[in-house]
Amino acid sequence: NAGVMQNPRHLVRRRGQEARLRCSPMKGHSHVYWYRQLPEEGLKFMVYLQKENIIDESGMPKERFSAEFPKEGPSILRIQQVVRGDSAAYFCASSQEPYSNQPQHFGDGTRLSIL
Amino acid sequence: AQSVTQPDIHITVSEGASLELRCNYSYGATPYLFWYVQSPGQGLQLLLKYFSGDTLVQGIKGFEAEFKRSQSSFNLRKPSVHWSDAAEYFCAVYQTGANNLFFGTGTRLTVIP
């Protein structure tokens, strides 16, 4: 499967724990985008990364959230000290070109539930 | 600021009937426009896109969309709906120079026999 791979598909955490979400972009894609989908809402942009660089994190909450895309390995979205409001589906997308008018290809998402 | 409006939260159609899902955008220049479909528990699949040229765009699964600049609309259509089309549909806009897509809130399609 050469698509965008996200894991885990489902993640349950208790309040105060850490959540780590992983995303492997499509083969040949070096641009990764994270979106969050709250219940009954559309996707909202969080962060855009290239290898080893955060390009745009204007949609990311200032506290507890961080993202990285190392030289080797998947992109990681990390949420520290999770709260109930973090419950959402988190989607990763990748594209071949930056500032992309090329279609962004999406993974199947990680559904995060906070107990 | 750009925005995307999908005025219909939920639409129900009979199998075999025609379908039109509405999308309006607010953006100064000619936008790049997309329609995505999301099945329950799944990610988003691109149905079609408009960048320039012919304003009637053909997509996968028998869908098409028409860009109407005068109405700032990009409505999605299908002449005959199948039960497997039941899903959530999202319209999205890309703004030149931005790093992300802007999504509408989605339209949930229910197909009845």
For residue A7, list chain B residues with Cβ-Cβ distance below 8 A. Answer: none
* Under 8 Å between Cβ of A29 and A39: no
* Under 8 Å between Cβ of A78 and A18: yes
Give the whole-angstrom CA distance, residue B34 versus residue B31: 10
* Under 8 Å between Cβ of A106 and A93: yes
Long-range interactions of A50-57: CB distance < 8 A, separation 24+:
A50/A98, A55/A98, A55/B99, A56/B99, A56/B100
A and B: number of Cβ contacts within 8 A:
58
For residue A59, list chain B residues with Cβ-Cβ distance below 8 A. Answer: 100
For residue B102, list chain A residues with Cβ-Cβ distance below 8 A. Answer: 45
Of A42, A44, A59, the CB nearest to B106: A42
Q: Phi and psi of B40, rounded to 5°? A: -55, 130
Chain B touched by A87 (CB under 8 Å): no
| pLDDT score, position A99 | 56
| pLDDT score, position B6 | 95
**Closest alpha carbon to B30 in B83, B89, B74, B84:** B74
For residue B108, list chain A residues with Cβ-Cβ distance below 8 A. Answer: none
From first to last of the 115 residues of chain A, give the pLDDT tens digit.
468 999 999 999 999 999 999 999 998 888 999 999 988 788 899 999 998 899 999 999 999 999 999 999 999 999 999 999 999 999 999 988 765 566 788 999 999 999 9
At B62, is the secondary structure helix, strand, or coil? helix
Weakest mean pLDDT among A48-52, A111-115, B85-89, B97-101: B97-101
Chain A touched by B103 (CB under 8 Å): yes
Peptide bond just before A98 cis, omega within 30 deg: no
Mean pLDDT across chain B: 91
pLDDT tens-digit series, residues B9-39? 999 999 999 999 999 998 767 788 999 999 9
